[in-house]
Amino acid sequence: MTLTLTNFIDGRWREHNGPALTFENPSTGELLGTLPDSGAAEVDLAVAAARRAFTDGPWPRMSPQERAEALRAVAAVLEARFEPLAAGLIADTGCTARLAPMLQAGSPIAHLRDFAGMAPLLEKPVSYPVDTFPGFGQWELHREPVGVVGAFTPYNFPLFMAVWKAAPALLAGNTLVIKPSPLTPFGLNELAAAVIEAGLPEGVLNIVHGDREAGQALAAHPGVDLISFTGSTAVGRQVMASAARTVKEIIMELGGKSPAIVLPDADAELAVRGTLFSSMMHSGQACVATTRMLVPDSRYEEFTELLAARAGAMVLGPATDLATDVGPVVSAAARDRIDKHVATAVEQGARVLVGGEKPAGLPEGGHYVAPTVLADPDGDTIATREETFGPVLSVVRYSDIDDAVRKANDTPYGLAASVWGTDLNQARQVASRIESGLTWINDAGAADVARTPLAGRKQSGVGTELGPDGLFAYTRVKSLYTALDRDLATRAYGAVGAAWA
């Protein structure tokens, strides 16, 4: 049985009679369903609904605590449907059965509640009295919603990323139009259903499915006040250019080429397992995934042998199999692109330690890439500078710490990094020199949404997501001054009106 998805606009499902797209199970290639290939007309309807909900509806005028309770209600609905939600996300994304219940289904629910817990940050304005010579008054700094938010969510963590954007935007009093990736639409369909059941006002959250035409229309739409985009840097540039036409505010989390610097005193087993977890989790389809491991010359052979052993033991297979460590990538196009990256890296001098070959014995229609570790890539090559977005790790030699930092920073990206070493003082010093918005020491993947912002450097992003800063990104500051006296003698008006004296 296949699903027929429709757009969700102004609180209800909208029949679509135009062109359609299909989406499939990455593990098998089996057709999962169809979805609208929407255009500018559908985007217009969704933006108009969001604008009405913002201008005339109750949502922006509710208290932060009332909006927080609505987010908690959405979380409760998703939690009540947890098992079918997780199963659907496994089929839709290809994320493994051991990882998806926690990451694809559980984390969005937790994030809704985490952001709901931030409501007190919005409840009272920051105020302080000011003595103005010779009068006095009071300044207040109010945080107000931006308006209508246009959100683009990627294929790798569809529901998770939607909540990253929707939860803080909604808590701040905004309304949204979300355009999900057409490759993995299931989670957004479930979010819309939860919004209906939780009783959010009509038009507060809208979902328009589609591909390029819908995306271009949303990014350029004059009725949208802020664009929040997660995806590749190449597409991000196009969205940014479209948004610039109407001088929209933007928040962007883009690509990465995250390094792991192994210091000479590092615990090898810890560093190898942590780095492989980061690079192979969800088949490497994460912007913050570690893709380069920088190892000192003195320990290079030790680490490459251990990496080959640990990566070689990973089980590649269908996402539904509990024995699977690494599942499929999202599509045949993604698989072919990753395979081409590996082939190009080998042509440019890298050698394959493990992986790199076409997997055998797996479902014929699935999109599989074997966990791959590349050794000795040369400096300015695809293996060291370009985002692969697949289960591929490059192991790079370095001579001393300065060389390691230089190589770590020698990329257009600056999203995430890790440092592995026993001497924590040295590890922290090295971490401070890496150009990244997020750096782990002796770990990779830890997150605390309620307190930890994510802000990419260089071509990895614009603005901030997550944490209080990520909440405030969906607000505008209004400065309000109230004079607390009415004495004309205390004012400077005479400086431009001498005859008034």
Q: Is 287 a catalytic residue?
A: yes
Q: Which of 249, 287, 387, 465 is catalytic?
A: 287
Q: Which of 42, 190, 249, 253 is catalytic?
A: 253
Task: List b or e across 311-344, with b for residues whose CB sees 16 or more CB atoms inside 10 angstroms.
Answer: beebebbbbbeeebbbbbbbbeebbeebbebbee
C-alpha torsion sign, points 276, 279, 283, 289: positive
Beta strands across the sheet bearing 126-131: 126-131, 136-145, 475-483
CA end-to-end distance (rounded Å), the chain: 84
Q: Is 79 a catalytic residue?
A: no
Helix (H) / strand (E) containing 470: helix 467-472
Sort 211 into a burial class: Cβ within 10 Å, 0-12 / 13-18 / 19+: middle
Determine how β-strand 7-9 pairs with β-strand 392-398. Answer: unpaired
Cβ pair 405, 261 in contact under 8 A: yes
Cβ atoms within 10 Å of 238's Cβ, excluding its own: 16
Pair of tokens at residue 119:
């409501």
- Please state, in angstroms and rounded to a whole number, the distance separating the CA atoms of residues 258 and 394: 11
Cis ω before 36 (30° cut-off from 0): no
- Please state, in angstroms and rounded to a whole number, the distance separating the CA atoms of residues 131 and 258: 50
Cβ atoms within 10 Å of 358's Cβ, excluding its own: 10
Sort 165 into a burial class: Cβ within 10 Å, 0-12 / 13-18 / 19+: buried
Helix (H, G, I), strand (E, B) or coil at 85: helix
Task: List b or e across 365-401, with b for residues whose CB sees 16 or more CB atoms inside 10 angstroms.
Answer: ebbbbbbbbbbebeeebbbbbbbbbbbbbbbbbbeeb
Active site residues: 253, 287
